[in-house]
Chains A and B, each alone.
Chain A
Amino acid sequence: MNIKITYNWLLEYLDTDADPYEIQKYLSLCGPGVERVDKVDNSSKGGLTDYVFDIEITSNRVDMASVFGIAQEAQAILPRFGKKAKLKQNPLTELRFKWAEKFNDKSLPLTVKVEDKKFADRLITVVLSNIDIKPSPKLIKERLEMCGERSINNVVDISNYMRIALGQPCHIFDYDEVKKHTLVVRESKKGEKIITLDKETVTLPGKDIVITDGEGNLIDQPGIMGGFNSSVQKNTRNILLLVPVFNGAMVRRTAMLTGKRSNAVAYFEKNIDDDRSESATIYTLNMLREYAGATQSSDIQDYHPTISKKKTLAVSHAFIEERIGIKIKHEECKRILENLGFHTSFNSKTTKFTITIPTPRLRDISIPEDIVEEIARIYGYHNLPNTMPPAVFLPKPEEWEKHFETQTRIKHFLKHIGLHESMNYSMVSKELIENMNLEVKHHLKLANTISEELLYMRTSLLPSLVRNIKENEGKADVLRFFEVAKVYYPQEKELPKEIYKVALATNTSFMDLKGITEALLSELKINNYEQRKAKIHIFSNQEVVDYVVDGEVIGSVGKLSTQLQHKNGLKSQVYLASFDLISLINHAKIISLYIPINPFATIKLDLNVKTGKRTYDEIKKLSFTTSNLLVKMELVDIYNETLNVRYYFSSAKKNLTEEEAQKELQKIKGLV
């Protein structure tokens, strides 16, 4: 959460020579992060000039989410930078109940019933009479506005002013609208409705804390917002002040389920301490007396079922030094802790500190590591040296090593031969799945997506790549994309299988994509593959091939079927390939095996073979089984349904003659 406070307001609690920008810099290094300082100059309108701090309060430190809380931090931090900083007053210790008693005329009754002590750690209530509702004085009004709070009237403003000053939300009811002068705190039933201050109707999910009056009317949504029916109006004469410490988890649950947030929620859900409410009550009473003419007309009723107990922590000096990584004298540790309000004693025999945790920090400080943080941050992280952890050797599982290594090889190779790497979201729309004739029911579905575009976890990279082609049509003539990413196959009662795929997409030609694919296989030294004409529903029946190694299909290349081309609104034909990364990894080699260079001559002979009878792959296989002098075969050209094939013959024992080579060729010719 962020809070806004002003520099001059801070100076009411803190005596310092630090300017606003110094405060920003030093506090941010050692304590709360001061995100902005803005100078506000209202002097031309006869108003105040001040600096507004916008401060981020981490959720463990709700105790410092106030002007006074920041003053306490500043007091511990600023002197470390050579700046003067002393607290001028401490409302948390100075303002206590005993102070108020003398003004009470006890003229108005009040009954408070709490049905279960789980609802609140503390509820302080008091009735005030003789209220004069009017605009707030200039100082209060302008400060509230600088801190982002709208000024309403003196009474409402005082409750907000107190919250910013001391970090305790409170609520003020119109006492005469609280029927039978009774507050009942109970659990809500599902579907109960309350109209809040902002005139919105909130329907309760049930099991929320609610407050009703003596006639059962809901008058407050505790910890979130007051009810409209009992709110302070222009003609309000008597008021009921409620200073509560509600159950944070319950307030948070109601706020989440109803979507209703307020400043108060931000405090309560972080579990404020149950001690400051006493001081906050006295502070508010004083303000109401001074700025609204109020008279205290009841006893202060203090419902306080759970009183925080004092807690001490034993922490060894060695632990602090080990964890921070430098030597810090025990006297210095003690000084730092005391400045932060911890009572600390050091036993020089056991070299242990016994640390008493101040009440506002009880919910934050619970383990020795918390003490390490307090000492280290005030000592200054910037004053610590940089060192390195000890060097160790940890073996990396071979499977992981190969995975990352091969992925990198594939990506760089494809890049170097001219492809562009695309990275698409793992989530796809229903449309994208259906556009590739995939079954929606085979996909994991998101329960709380923010867009129809992100509804299912993809089981193929191809739909996204087809979209990449479609969206880039016209932006470049030649499109060649690839993606290496996981797909997600659902499994019953288990996490999905996350399988890496390598997919390619082009708008060029079947032979172009086949060439790229075969170049990639060659780069990975996968040369022992067979090609089989495949039947895959998304591809055309003619232009589609499987690559098979040791009987396992490792991937396919094909032309997207005309039906799907049209379904996807593609102007041009699209060619797609998809491979299992794990198969490529399993068959890939870093370098090829060495074959001794043959010192004898190689004879090249060409042969024309009619297409249609056998596939090239079959011709190749047949040729090699027919002649053991055949060392290499390549396709030179295709024309008129004729393959022009070049054969390379050589012997490892002697120089072949032209005649011997011809004889081999004739053997092959006879068969193919």
Chain B
Amino acid sequence: MNIDSVRTLFGKNLQSCTTVRQLEELEIAYLGRNGKINELLKNIKNLQANEKKQFGSELNKLKTEITSALQDKRQELFAKNDESVSVDVTIPGDKYPKGSLHTTTYAIEEISKIFEKIGFIRVYYPEVDWEYYAFDALNMPAGHPARDDFETFFLDTPAHPRLGRMLLTPHATNAQNREMRRLKSTPPVRMINIGKTYRPNWDTSHTPMFHQFDGLCIDKNINITQLKGTLDYFVKTFFGPKRSARIRPYDFRFTEPSFEVDVSCGICLGKGCRMCKSGWLELGGAGMIHPNVLKEGGIDPTIYSGFAWGWGVERVFSMKEGLMVDDLRTVYGGDIRFLEQF
């Protein structure tokens, strides 16, 4: 074969080539080690010295032509390949399982992260407890009217001679005395207790079981500005940087002074609007720990002071935008149509 017939043959072959695979075979057939170009090159030794130069240059030209034609054809075939399937790109992709976590789980995880960042450790204490830890240790002696504010489920078991009746804790504050004792009554204390709490109310805005997070900070020279700062940090992290916290006078037995804590309304940011009326929404209680509570935990109130708060997990979570549940019972009703939303 001579150069021209190889060129003609290549042209035909290239034309009938329809896939990238065929193209790769064609490339090997012409440019490969035993390809047609190398075949032709073998003829060079039979030529005269003066013909060699011309033959060489023509062969080189052919090789360049073939290389470039293959390259063009490859691009053409690639492009054709990508065009070959027509697809409705709006059809849903393959399905993967989608589960859900309970809203309270999300809330608890977020709250504990926020406080762990500033050194409050999450603790783990009983939900079924003695009267002593829920009341007496918190400056609420037996018969005190303040106990009425914590309507309580009691258990049908004999009372403990020293610690009183067995109950379902009505607040997460029952951890405070235990945590002071765990640390051998030696501050600093930085605690966040998140747990199940129980009160005998069951209607659209109450469930007999709910969750509270109770914070406790004890150290030398703890003051009101630090309580304000800590709660404002929580509010800004949990609800958003534009929100703020404020405290108002209140009365709890376990703290003195005691406060009611509000968060500025997310819509008007505290100015007052149709949704919130006063500009502020009630979050829960807080205060400077009563010296009797410290004493009961074995801590000397003339050396140490502290602050504490105890808020409802469901309450603060439902105050986030778009999470207001019209009937709180839904949260613990177990309906898949509620659960799967989260």
Interface residues of chain A, those whose CB is within 8 Å of chain B, are 25, 28-33, 58-61, 249, 252-253, 269-270, 322-326, 367, 369-370, 372-373, 376-377, 381-382, 384-394, 396, 400, 403-404, 408, 411-412, 414-427, 444-451, 454, 457, 464, 467-468, 471-472, 475-476, 479-481, 486, 488, 490, 493, 495-496, 498
**In the complex, how many angstroms separate the beta carbon of B200 from the nearest chain A beta carbon?**
5
Cα A445 to Cα B166 with chains together (Å)? 11
Residues of B145-162 at the interface with A, using a CB-CB cut-off of 8 Å, are 145-146, 153-158, 160
B257–A377 touching, CB < 8 Å: yes
What residues on B are CB-neighbors of A25 within 8 Å?
Answer: 278
B145–A326 touching, CB < 8 Å: no
Q: Is B322 an interface residue (CB 8 A)?
A: no
Find A495's partner among B126, B219, B288 (CB 8 Å cutoff).
B126
What residues on A are CB-neighbors of B128 within 8 Å?
Answer: 444, 457, 488, 495-496, 498
A389–B257 touching, CB < 8 Å: no
Interface residues of chain B, those whose CB is within 8 Å of chain A, are 97-102, 104-105, 109, 112, 118-119, 121-124, 126-130, 143, 145-146, 153-158, 160, 166, 168, 188-190, 196, 198, 200-202, 207-209, 217, 219, 221-226, 228-230, 232-233, 246-251, 256-260, 278, 288, 290-291, 305, 331-332, 334-337, 339-340
Cα A420 to Cα B101 with chains together (Å)? 6
B198, B202, B225: which has the most chain A beta carbons within 10 Å?
Answer: B225
B196, B208, B249: which has the most chain A beta carbons within 10 Å?
Answer: B249
Cα A451 to Cα B202 with chains together (Å)? 9
**CB-CB under 8 A for A424 and B334, given A392-B119, A392-B188, A418-B99:** yes
Find A373's partner among B201, B219, B257 (CB 8 Å cutoff).
B257
Cα A525 to Cα B339 with chains together (Å)? 28
What residues on A are CB-neighbors of B208 within 8 Å?
Answer: 425, 427, 450-451, 454
Find A389's partner among B98, B100, B200, B226 (CB 8 Å cutoff).
B226
**CB-CB under 8 A for A493 and B225, given A61-B251, A270-B145, A419-B99:** no
B224–A420 touching, CB < 8 Å: no
Per DSSP, chain B at the interface is mixed
B225–A386 touching, CB < 8 Å: yes
**CB-CB under 8 A for A447 and B154, given A33-B248, A61-B251, A376-B224:** yes
What residues on B are CB-neighbors of A415 within 8 Å?
Answer: 99-101
A449–B153 touching, CB < 8 Å: yes
Find A30's partner among B124, B153, B249, B339 (CB 8 Å cutoff).
B249
**In the complex, how many angstroms separate the beta carbon of A550 from the nearest chain B beta carbon?**
25
A420–B99 touching, CB < 8 Å: yes
**In the complex, how many angstroms separate the beta carbon of A400 from the nearest chain B beta carbon?**
5
What residues on A are CB-neighbors of B97 within 8 Å?
Answer: 416-418
A384–B224 touching, CB < 8 Å: yes
What residues on B are CB-neighbors of A387 within 8 Å?
Answer: 225-226, 228-229
A-B contact pairs, 6 of them (CB 8 A): A370-B256, A381-B259, A385-B228, A392-B190, A415-B101, A448-B154
What residues on A are CB-neighbors of B257 within 8 Å?
Answer: 369-370, 372-373, 376-377
Closest 5 CB pairs of A and B: A418-B97, A325-B223, A373-B257, A58-B251, A325-B225
B246–A493 touching, CB < 8 Å: no
